[in-house]
Amino acid sequence: MRSTLLRAGGATAGAAAIFAALAGPALGQQDPPGNNGTIKVDGVDFDSHPDNEPHVGCVFQIDFYNFDEGDLNATVTFEGQPPTGGGTLLTDQVAIGEDPAGGGTDLDASATYDLAEALAGIAPHPVQGHHIRLTVEAQGSIGDETKHKVFWVEGCTPPPPSTTTTTPGETTTTTQPGGTTTTQPTRGPGHPDEAPPAKPVSGRPTATG
């Protein structure tokens, strides 16, 4: 409809301009062609408001708003941004074409990420944490399909490894990340799966019968 009106001439074009001025807000809620979508970084507690949080915990969401309808996917890439470094940390694919573009508050998709494992061994900034660059390549846009966000994540400390302590003749204790402890009896010195050896019998057996 918009293309037809723009191509019309004379009085029809003038009437179309008046109609567009009066109905502009309503038309703006349709699915216009072009680079409609926006991305936002959302920290815990997650919500559906189109606000962006530049400082989040190690678990966070990426929200996709106002993308066009269709069989469309976004390629999500997280990289370490100086001073963090580390190159590519994580990549993902997210379906974003659920419905027509409905404006800046139209949430099309959310994806939750945890960068603890990807950032293990990379020292954080002492105050800010890890500096992350997000790149989203979204299909279906006319124009620039690539969008970027740079933000900080904090608290990305990997869990401690499990530890095992064996007390000969007593128990074997294994401590898992998160504080879970498992204790098993030790059946023989240095050999948890073997029974202790039999003790020899001294003296002569007693006759019976």
Amino acid identity, position 31: D
pLDDT at 35: 60
164 and 147 co-located in one domain: no
93 and 172 co-located in one domain: no
Domain containing residue 61: CATH number: 2.60.40.1930
pLDDT at 139: 79
**Quick check: is 193 in a domain?**
no
132 and 181 co-located in one domain: no
49 and 117 co-located in one domain: yes
pLDDT at 105: 79
pLDDT at 59: 95
pLDDT at 33: 59
- The last residue of a domain, from among 108, 138, 154: 154
Question: What are the two backbone dihedrals, phi and then psi, of residue 183, each rounded to the nearest 5 degrees?
Answer: -120, 130
Instruction: Answer yes or no: pTM beyond 0.75.
Output: no
166 and 118 co-located in one domain: no
135 and 62 co-located in one domain: yes
**Quick check: is 113 in a domain?**
yes
| Sheet (strand 38-43) strand order | 38-43, 59-65, 107-114
pLDDT at 142: 60
Q: Considering its fold, how many domains does the chain have in total?
A: 2
pLDDT at 205: 58
Say whether the peptide bond before residue 45 is cis (omega within 30 degrees of 0): yes
**Quick check: is 209 in a domain?**
no
Domain that holds residue 173: 160-185
pLDDT at 14: 46
89 and 143 co-located in one domain: yes
pLDDT at 10: 42
**Quick check: is 46 in a domain?**
yes
**Quick check: is 64 in a domain?**
yes
The angle subtended at Cα 51 by Cα 32 and Cα 29, nearest 5°, is: 20
pLDDT at 48: 74
Q: How many CB atoms lie within 10 A of CB 56?
A: 20
**CB-based contact 135:152 (threshold 8 Å):** no
40 and 109 co-located in one domain: yes
113 and 171 co-located in one domain: no
pLDDT at 115: 95
CA distance linking residue 209 with residue 125, whole number of Å: 87
**CB-based contact 68:101 (threshold 8 Å):** yes
130 and 171 co-located in one domain: no
Among the listed residues 34, 33, 65, 30, the one whose alpha carbon sits nearest the alpha carbon of residue 145: 34
Consecutive 10-residue runs of the chain (209 residues): their mean pLDDT?
A: 35 43 46 72 83 91 90 94 93 89 82 95 93 91 81 81 64 57 57 60 61
38 and 137 co-located in one domain: yes
89 and 181 co-located in one domain: no
- The last residue of a domain, from among 135, 154, 173: 154
**Quick check: is 141 in a domain?**
yes
